[in-house]
Amino acid sequence: MTVLDVRRVAKVYGEGEAAVHALRGVSLSVEQGDYVAIMGSSGSGKSTLMNILGCLDVPSSGQYLLDGVDVSRLNDRQLALVRNRRIGFIFQSFNLIPRTTALANVELPLAYAGVKPALRRRRARAALDMVGLADRADHEPNQLSGGQQQRVAVARALVTEPALLLADEPTGNLDSRSTEDILTIFDQLSAAGRTILIITHEPDVSARAKRLVKLFDGQISSDVRQVVAA
């Protein structure tokens, strides 16, 4: 099944003389269970593509189907629903809510989705357990290391069982040990059939993905399957 179907997507910022063509006809199809790394130099259009894939922005032209739904033409409220239901986000800077326990942070997307408190708690505990942090459920972000905070963020991204996990430089702020922890979790999620898309500058990180897509000047310059380094 195709989770992500991007068809000739273009994105132009500004207009006239000042127009910036951030994406120039990107087509990309990702099947369920694939693990894709996106690389490209600064300014190549990675964040623009990520924002569109994550339904944080819409293309100027072209089509984007997520889980079979054409999201190119949805309004803001509909996009917010798609984000909550179908996408798990992981950011470089963790983006946890301060002075709020790990458990409550992980419960949050379920609260938005209207899941009842008891079920919410149970699912959040299971997600924390999956990232090896069951014993830190009552800790607040400032009582956790960077690597632990990012694992909480992974649990939060997973807890809604999204169709797509979208990670923008998830290891950019982590030391090598914590990077390995996160990559091991991604390996496990991939083996369990999750669909993962990760933006990274680090060759050690992209090497773990099953597929490597390179962006250059707003276009895909290469798209290859790779032998996964264990």
Q: Which residues bind ligand ADP (CB under 6 A)?
A: 13-14, 20, 22, 40, 42-48
Name the token pair of 61: 């032209």
φ/ψ of 147, rounded to 5, equals -65, -40
Query: Please, what is the minimum distance in Å from the beta carbon of residue 48 to Mg ion?
Result: 8
Nearer to ligand ADP, 22 or 106 (CB): 22
Nearer to ligand ADP, 10 or 207 (CB): 10
Report the length, in residues, of the chain.
230
Give residue number: closest CB to Mg ion.
47
Query: Please, what is the minimum distance in Å from the beta carbon of residue 49 to ligand ADP?
Result: 7
- Using DSSP, state whether 195 is helix, strand or coil: coil
Nearer to ligand ADP, 13 or 122 (CB): 13
CA distance 28 to 34: 12
Query: Please, what is the minimum distance in Å from the beta carbon of residue 62 to ligand ADP?
Result: 15
CA distance 222 to 230: 23
20 binds, among ligand ADP, Mg ion, none (CB under 5 to 8 A by kind): ligand ADP
Per-position x/- string for 40-79, each x denoting binding to Mg ion as judged by CB under 5 A, each - no binding:
------xx--------------------------------
CA distance 183 to 176: 10
Query: Please, what is the minimum distance in Å from the beta carbon of residue 39 to ligand ADP?
Result: 9
Nearer to ligand ADP, 32 or 60 (CB): 60
Beta strands in 67-218 (DSSP E): 69-70, 87-91, 164-168, 196-199, 211-216
CA distance 7 to 158: 27
